[in-house]
Amino acid sequence: MAISDSLFDNRRCRICFKVNCICSSRCQKCRHFICTCSPRSHQCKKTTCGCSPFIPVPGPPGPAGPAGSPGANGTAASTDYGYIYQSTAQIVPVETDVTFDTNGAIFGAIAHTVGDAGITINTPGDYKVIFSLTGQQANQFALFVDGTLFPGTIYGSNSTDQQNTGFAIITVATPVTLTLRNHTSAGSISLETLAGGTEANVTASILIQRL
């Protein structure tokens, strides 16, 4: 008995459960009915088409959509920063602050008078502070805020003629004065010039930047 492309003769379809049905469910690839019956037994042997699975082919890309709306403005760059340094030799006794003879770039909340030890931070916020110095003796230096040691800023050098570098993030609520102090060294520290060459070098410096 031949199987019609549109009619299952004298058999019950497993899709609609009717005898002599006309089903609309066809394989998308071969267009056969999903139910294929045995002509002799008049019973369904399988419920899926025997052809390979249908694999869709992607169509061409569609046109570009409209442009999105502009995003929010980013955070403005910091306008509060300063670089202050000492360009000549200096002897710094124990528990004495380093003085600085040169102002580099200074803007916004940072203020310093040439020759003074104190650096003023006038605007509340979080500030990154980096200091560096070259001492002729082993030493320990630290950052002080309004005359009080700022925790976590004691940095040491255990060798002569070696650079000592430290850094911290300081939170300022009201205007404060920041200093770099020879703290807990064995004695006075001579800041070294002509270190490693024939030209005068920076002997101590502080960089401050609002975050």
Residue 156 has pLDDT above 60, yes or no: yes
Average pLDDT over residues 155-171: 94
Do both 103 and 201 map to the same domain?
A: yes
Average pLDDT over residues 131-137: 96
Q: What is the pLDDT of residue 84?
A: 99
The number of folded domains in the chain is: 2
What share of the chain has pLDDT > 70, as a percent? 74
Residue 151 has pLDDT above 50, yes or no: yes
Q: What is the pLDDT of residue 17?
A: 60
Higher pLDDT, 196 or 51: 196
Q: Which of 75, 39, 88 lies closest to 192, judged by CA?
A: 88
Average pLDDT over residues 127-133: 98
Q: What is the pLDDT of residue 139?
A: 97
Amino acid at the residue 26: R
- Grade residue 44 by pLDDT with cuts at 50, 70 and 90: very low
Q: Which of 8, 53, 45 lies closest to 28, judged by CA?
A: 53
What share of the chain has pLDDT > 90, as a percent? 61
Residue 200 has pLDDT above 80, yes or no: yes
Q: 């299952």: which residue's tokens? A: 8
| Phi, psi values for residue 43, rounded to 5° | -125, 145
CB atoms within 10 A of CB 114: 10
For residues 36 and 48, what is the distance between their CA atoms, to the nearest angstrom? Answer: 8
Higher pLDDT, 83 or 54: 83
In a domain, 121, yes or no: yes
Domain of residue 206 covers 81-210
**pTM above 0.75?**
no
- Give the domain-ending residue among 9, 37, 52: 52
CB atoms within 10 A of CB 168: 17
Q: What's the CATH number where 101 sits?
A: 2.60.120.40
Do both 119 and 27 map to the same domain?
A: no
In a domain, 58, yes or no: no
For residues 208 and 11, what is the distance between their CA atoms, to the nearest angstrom? Answer: 89
Residue 9 has pLDDT above 60, yes or no: no
CA dihedral 22, 26, 30, 34 (to 10 degrees): -90
In a domain, 190, yes or no: yes
